[in-house]
């Protein structure tokens, strides 16, 4: 069976990571800790997550004409990702993320967008051929919202389903939301999008229902170790997570989204696709790093076989 074609429009960063006993509070310096760099960016992480999960991925992005940009493109190519639409920006550097990771696996992240902030609707239109061939368009919000909207509109014209991971959360125009098939916020993003406090799964369900009223077909709220809430006009249910010992939660949501796109493009039912994505995310949190933590398809399939629900 041919691999499903996934189109990812989004960001590419170089992550600079420090592992510490605990995350610094405002004004606090935390000494010690391991330092390393790794490729990242929500768009790139999701593209790699989808490729490793079995997708035939094309990536639309901007990187700088610098060492980090060249390393990023080489990394995408090594994962089998089509890089024809990854643009080398002559005027802006590759994006950078500074990440603190605590001893219990939680993280705090600051991002300098660099070339990501210059990804434009024209860049999207230049990749129109890739839209025509895709089964799923997967996007995030580390690039300009007008570019995200242009991509969503083009996907709709081409009959392509749109998954939007609203991270980092921001106000979303109605003109974008009406083109979104599946919105995948985490609990924090759900709060910011709806203005509702999320303390329980029931709160998440009420907030998801509010988002469905905007015209979105399905809302999948990632709940960390608790799994995911799946809500649409037929009702809502919790897709339980898997019990693992977390080492680093960086990019778990990106891994989830990449795997979800592949499963849906393969024709898996929504519940099964979310379970597949939960498994991929569970594996990823047991490993250090962002993109490097994404599991392969064989690893996901083996994990699911060993963890029946």
Which sequence positions are flagged as catalytic? 254
Helix, strand, coil % in the chain, rounded to nearest 5: 40, 25, 35
Q: Report d(CA 94, CA 106) in Å as an integer.
A: 25
- Give, in order, the Cα–Cα distances in Å from 129 to each of 3, 200, 229, 251: 18, 43, 34, 29
Q: Do the Cβ atoms of 93 and 63 come closer than 8 Å?
A: no
- Termini Cα distance of the chain: 26
3-state secondary structure of 1: coil
Rounded Cα distance, 124 and 41, in Å: 18
- Between CA 88 and CA 303 the distance in angstroms is 38
Cα separation of 139 and 244, whole Å?
27
Q: Is the peptide bond before 241 cis (omega within 30 degrees of 0)?
A: no
Which pair of structure tokens corresponds to residue 164?
């939007």
Whether 137 contacts 111, CB under 8 Å: no
Residue 14, classed as helix, strand or coil, is strand
């Amino acid at each position: 069976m041919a691999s499903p074609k996934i189109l990812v429009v989004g960001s590419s960063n170089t992550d600079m990571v420090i592992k510490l006993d605990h995350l610094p509070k405002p004004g606090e310096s935390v000494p010690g800790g391991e330092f390393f760099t790794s490729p990242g960016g929500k768009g790139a992480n999701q593209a790699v997550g989808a490729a490793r999960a079995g997708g035939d991925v094309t990536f639309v992005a901007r990187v700088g004409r610098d060492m980090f940009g060249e390393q990023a493109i080489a990394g995408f190519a090594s994962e089998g990702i089509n890089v024809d639409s990854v643009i080398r920006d002559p005027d802006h550097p590759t994006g950078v993320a500074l990440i603190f990771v605590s001893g219990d696996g939680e993280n705090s992240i600051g991002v300098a967008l660099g070339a990501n902030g210059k990804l434009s609707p024209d860049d999207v239109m230049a990749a129109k051929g890739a839209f025509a061939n895709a089964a799923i368009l997967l996007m995030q919000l580390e690039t300009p919202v007008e570019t995200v909207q242009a991509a969503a509109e083009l996907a709709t014209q081409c009959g392509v389903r749109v998954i939007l991971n609203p991270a980092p959360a921001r106000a979303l125009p109605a003109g974008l939301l009406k083109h979104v098939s599946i919105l995948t916020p985490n609990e924090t993003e759900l709060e910011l999008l709806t203005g509702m406090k999320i303390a329980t799964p029931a709160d998440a369900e009420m907030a998801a229902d509010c988002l469905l009223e905007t015209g979105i077909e399905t809302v999948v709220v990632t709940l960390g170790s608790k799994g995911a809430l799946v809500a649409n006009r037929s009702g809502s249910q919790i897709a339980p997570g898997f019990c693992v010992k977390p080492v680093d939660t960086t990019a778990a949501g990106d891994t989830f989204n990449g795997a979800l796109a592949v499963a849906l493009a393969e024709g898996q039912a929504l519940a099964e696709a979310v379970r597949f994505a939960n498994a991929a995310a569970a594996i990823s949190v047991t490993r250090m790093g962002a993109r490097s933590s994404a599991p392969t398809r064989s690893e996901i399939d083996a994990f699911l076989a060993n963890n029946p629900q």
